[in-house]
Amino acid sequence: MTETTGTIFIDGKAVGFMQGQTIMDAALSAQVYIPHLCHYPGLTPSGNCRLCVVEADGRRAAACTTAAKAGQQISNNTAELNAARKVITQMLFVEGNHICPSCEKSGNCKLQAMGYHLGMLEEHYPQFNPRRVLDASHPDILLDRGRCILCGLCVRASHEVDKKNVFAIAGRGADAYLIVNTVSGKLGDSNLDVTDLAANICPVGAIMFKERGYVTPIGERIYDRQHISDVAMHEHVTEQKGDKKR
């Protein structure tokens, strides 16, 4: 059994951590859920979504990129932080085309599950209804940028696990968008395969497999059967066992 090198306190609970672990790593290892969308065990953290922001010793910090330090007093599950997370989630919904009843990803979507977790009953903000390039050039995979939340998971998975560098994020701020690293910019000209982690890691419906719609019926999908926090714990345990492609 690996020994811990220190202890942090999350909402008063003592949580041991090992040298080099982030607050997020330590929390998941202790079965403490910190809401997140852009974090994935085994991939380099990026802090893109900001849902995992906690208060560490009175200062706000992204749990996925902040190193655990002995004695840290961390607030996570508070009304104030969860209210801020709900606002971020509402903004993600309206910034893209996330219409759950008509989306094949419904029930398997982390953004949708996060909305349920945070008690989001309505979108609150006016819809952007963006018109973004939909790429259907790949024989097996569809890329719908209208649903992309710029979490960067496909970028990191392709680079760090698949070793292909298929995706990248171009632009900054409100002008940022997902691109495909081919001369044509088309997904069909890339070497992305359906077995690649990058093709399977999208938390929303931006990267989808063709001709597989509703293979698993609504009501029997991941988040229909499990809470998002339970899925996060399972992902962490699976990564610790060394199986990233799942």
What pLDDT is stored for residue 175 in this prediction? Answer: 87
- Highest-scoring range by mean pLDDT, 10-19, 125-134, 169-178, 212-221: 10-19
For residue 238, what pLDDT is reported?
A: 82
List the domains of the chain with CATH numbers: 6-81 (3.10.20.740), 83-226 (3.30.70.20)
3-state percent breakdown (helix, strand, coil) of the chain, nearest 5? 30, 15, 55
> Would you say the pTM of this structure is higher than 0.85?
yes
Kindly give the residue spans of alpha helices, DSSP state H, lying in the chain: 23-29, 79-95, 110-117, 153-157, 197-200, 222-225, 228-240
pLDDT digits (tens, 9 = 90+) for 63-120: 999 999 999 999 999 999 999 999 999 999 999 999 999 899 999 999 999 999 999 9
Contact 203, 37 (CB under 8 A): yes
> What backbone phi and psi angles, to 5 degrees, belong to 179?
-125, 160
**pLDDT of the residue at 214:** 87
Report pLDDT for 128: 84
CA gap 96, 98 in Å, rounded: 6
Which whole-number Å values give the CA distances from 117 to 192, 205, 222, in the listed order? Answer: 32, 19, 14
CA geometry: angle 206, 237, 208, nearest 5 deg:
15
Query: What is the C-alpha end-to-end distance of the chain, expressed in Å?
Result: 25
Which amino acid is located at 130 in the chain? P
Q: Per-residue pLDDT tens for 2-60?
A: 577 899 999 999 999 999 999 999 999 999 999 999 999 999 999 999 999 999 999 99
Strand order in the sheet with 6-10: 13-17, 6-10, 73-75, 53-56, 59-62
Condensed to tens digits (0 to 9), the pLDDT of residues 147-180 reads: 999 999 999 999 999 999 999 999 988 889 999 9
Across residues 113-130, what is the average pLDDT? 92
The model's confidence at residue 1, banded by pLDDT at 50, 70 and 90, is very low
- Burial (Cβ within 10 Å: 0-12, 13-18, ≥19) of residue 74: buried
pLDDT of 245 over the 50 cut: no
**What was the pLDDT predicted at 2?**
59
